[in-house]
Structure 1
Amino acid sequence: MKIKHYFPLPFILTFMPVSAENYISTRFSADPSVHFFNNKFYVYATNDQDNSGTYWDSTDWRLFSSADLKTWQDDGSFLDISVFAWAGKTAKAWAPGAIERNGKFYFFAPVGGKQIGVAVSDKPFTGFKDPLGKALIETPRDPNAGVEPIDPMAFIDKDGQTYLYFGTRIPKVVKLKQNMQQLDGDIQDIIIQGFPEDDKKKKYGEAPYLHEHNGTYYFTFSTGWPGQIVYATGNNPLGPFTYRGVIFDYLPISTNHQAIIEKDGKSYFFYHDGSSQGGGDHKRVIGFTELHYAKDGSILPITIK
Structure 2
Amino acid sequence: MIKFGLSSVFLALALVAPTAAFGQQPITNRFSADPSPHVFDGEYYVYATDDASNSGRYWDSTAWRLYASKDMRTWVDKGAPLDVTVFKWARPDAKAWAPEVAYRHGKYFFYAPVGGDKIGVAVADRPEGPFHDARSDALVDKSRDANVGAEPIDPAVFIDKDGQAYLFFGTRMPKIVKLRPDMVTLDGPIRDLAIEGFPQDDPKKKYGEAPFLHARGGTYYFSFSTGWPGQIVYATSTSPMGPFRYQGLILDYLSISTNHQAIIEHGGNTWLFYHDNLLPGGGSERRSITFAPLRYNPDGSIQEVKRPAKAVEHPVLPISGG
Query: How many angstroms apart in 2 are the aligned matches of 1:235 and 1:35?
Result: 24
Letter of the structure 2 residue corresponding to residue 265 of structure 1: G
Equivalent position of 2:69 in the other structure: 66
Equivalent position of 2:15 in the other structure: none
Q: TM-score, normalised to structure 2's length?
A: 0.88
Equivalent pair of 1:204/1:221 in contact (CA under 8 Å): yes
Equivalent position of 2:188 in the other structure: 185
> Alpha-carbon deviations, 1:278-299, whole Å to 9, x = none?
0000000000011000000000
Equivalent pair of 2:24/2:278 in contact (CA under 8 Å): no
Query: How many angstroms apart in 1 are the aligned matches of 2:72 and 2:267?
Result: 12
Query: How many angstroms apart in 1 are the aligned matches of 2:31 and 2:240?
Result: 33
Equivalent position of 1:4 in the other structure: none
Structure ranking higher in strand proportion: 1
CA shift, 1:37, in A, is 1.0
Letter of the structure 2 residue corresponding to residue 202 of structure 1: K
Query: How many angstroms apart in 2 are the aligned matches of 1:131 and 1:70?
Result: 33
For 1:34-183, what aligned pairs fall within 5 Å after superposition?
A: 34-183=37-186
Matched, 1:265 2:268: yes
Equivalent position of 2:223 in the other structure: 220
CA shift, 1:276, in A, is 1.2
Equivalent pair of 2:96/2:113 in contact (CA under 8 Å): yes
Query: How many angstroms apart in 2 are the aligned matches of 1:46 and 1:124?
Result: 16
> Alpha-carbon deviations, 1:27-52, whole Å to 9, x = none?
10000000111211110000000100
Letter of the structure 2 residue corresponding to residue 153 of structure 1: A
> Alpha-carbon deviations, 1:38-87, whole Å to 9, x = none?
21111000000010000000000000011111211110112111001111
Equivalent position of 1:31 in the other structure: 34
For 1:194-209, what aligned pairs fall within 5 Å after superposition?
A: 194-209=197-212
Aligned residue pair count: 289
Extract structure 1 runs of 4+ deviating beyond 4 A: none
Seq. identity, %: 59
Which sections of structure 2, spanning at least 5 residues, go unmatched? 1-17, 309-322
> Alpha-carbon deviations, 1:246-288, whole Å to 9, x = none?
1000001000000000001100000000121100000000000
Query: How many angstroms apart in 2 are the aligned matches of 1:119 and 1:33?
Result: 15
Name which of 240, 245, 254 aligns with 2:243.
Answer: 240
Equivalent position of 1:289 in the other structure: 292
2:158 match: secondary structure: strand
Q: TM-score, normalised to structure 1's length?
A: 0.93
Q: Name the Cα RMSD after superposition.
A: 1.0
> Alpha-carbon deviations, 1:124-181, whole Å to 9, x = none?
1011100211100011310101120000011100000000000000000000001011
Range with bigger deviation, 128-137 or 221-230: 128-137
Equivalent pair of 1:190/1:240 in contact (CA under 8 Å): yes
